[in-house]
Amino acid sequence: MSAAFVDRQQVGRRFSRAAASYPQGDFFAREVDRRMQERLDYVKLEPGRILDLGCSRGGSFAGLTARYPQAELLGLDLAPAMLAQDQAPAGWLRRLGLAKSAGPQRLAADAAKLPLKTRSTALVWSNLLLHWLDDPLPVLAEAHRVLEVGGLLMFSTLGPDSLKELRTAFADGYAHTQRFIDMHDLGDMLVGCGFADPVMDMEVITLTYADLDAMFADLRAAGSGCAMVARRHGLSGRRAWAAARAAYEGLRRDGKLPATFEVVYGHAWKAEAKQTADGRAIVRFDTPRQK
């Protein structure tokens, strides 16, 4: 068994600690969610059930429920503390006329081991989850399994140029950001899982800050500190911090410090299987219609 890159327990701890204050730092996730929701304008889909993978406090619930008011909505997250905070409570959605009486369901579970039946979901939605995983492939495979034929997977994640300034500033051999996977590799994973017609695209969003402490405050509020196994597990020394700050200051432009995020978007459909799990081809015969 290969060694893990991502400290899964640390991911859970960071998001659990950030749960109560998450609205102070999730502005970036909400903006990416808004842009993902716009992409649904071009999709013809009437889902009976929607699964939101990595739903955190339910920030995507209102938009998805407004678009698909008849769909059952299930939010899944690794951190129970996030689910308990309930950013989109059922009562609030009902008052807006956006939810059934039961409202969205919430479940604390592992995205790589979904407690759902095969072919039980029409839309799997995932906003900024995949870069927190040691390997996205099992999660994509599970998404494919639970989708019904004709169902859609739509996700966003961060690409390799994300927080490149931070990695450059800390030249100490430790990981200071997550490991971000190239969108072409993600596209290959989708095909390998059996998805049809994957579409991948990306855009660069650059946030600017007055100082480095403000950027770190936003990352902490969003639970977005580094959770890699290769991160520094103790405190950095004063000399290392001073060197990193000086290096980052060298990137200041027009009085602001940049923080680059490469946002990767992907979607793919589940087509009818062409072969069985053991590799045998599936051949279908249509019987002649009676005249």
Please give the structure tokens belonging to residue 87.
């950013």
Query: What are the distances in angstroms from CA 231 to CA 141, 152, 194?
Result: 28, 35, 34
Predicted confidence at residue 153, as pLDDT, reads 98
Fold classification of 8-270 is Rossmann fold (3.40.50)
Q: Which residue type does 264 have?
A: V
C-beta pairs of 210-216 under 8 Å, 24+ apart in sequence: 210/255, 210/256, 210/257, 211/257, 212/245, 212/248, 212/249, 212/257, 215/257, 215/259
Sign of the Cα torsion 155, 159, 165, 170 reads positive
Q: What's the pLDDT score for residue 131?
A: 96
Task: Give the residue from 191, 216, 104, 99 showing the smallest Cα distance to 141.
Answer: 191
Q: pLDDT-based confidence at 48, cuts 50/70/90?
A: very high
The per-residue pLDDT for range 204-226, each reduced to its tens digit, is 999 999 999 999 999 999 999 88
In this structure, what token pair is assigned to residue 205? 């969003």
Given a contact cutoff of 8 angstroms between Cβ atoms, the answer to whether 90 and 103 are in contact is: yes
| Mean pLDDT, range 33-41, rounded to an integer | 96
| pLDDT tens digits for range 114-145 | 999 999 999 999 999 999 999 999 999 999 99
C-alpha span between 151 and 193 (Å, rounded): 14
Domain range annotation of the chain: 8-270
- Read off the amino acid at residue 26: D
Residue 10 CA to its chain's centroid (Å): 17
Q: How confident is the model at residue 92 (pLDDT cuts 50, 70, 90)?
A: very low
- Mapped onto helix, strand or coil, the DSSP state of residue 123 is strand
Q: Considering the chain, what is the average pLDDT of its residues?
A: 88
What does pTM read for this prediction?
A: 0.87
Distance CA 23, CA 208 (A): 19
Distance CA(127)–CA(141), nearest Å, equals: 17
> Would you state the pLDDT for residue 285?
44
Bridge pairing between strands 147-158 and 195-209: unpaired
Answer yes or no: are the C-beta atoms of 111 and 78 closer than 8 Å.
Answer: yes
Q: Kindly state the helix (H) or strand (E) to which residue 146 belongs, with its residue range.
A: helix 136-146
268 sits in which H/E element = strand 257-270
Number of C-beta neighbours around residue 20 at 10 A = 13
Closest of 146, 166, 126 to residue 264, by C-alpha: 126
Residue 141, both tokens: 């495979």
**Consecutive H or E run containing 189:** helix 183-193
- For the segment 52-58, the average pLDDT, to the nearest whole number, is 95
pLDDT at 287 over 60: no
Joined together, the tokens standing for residue 35 give 């842009």
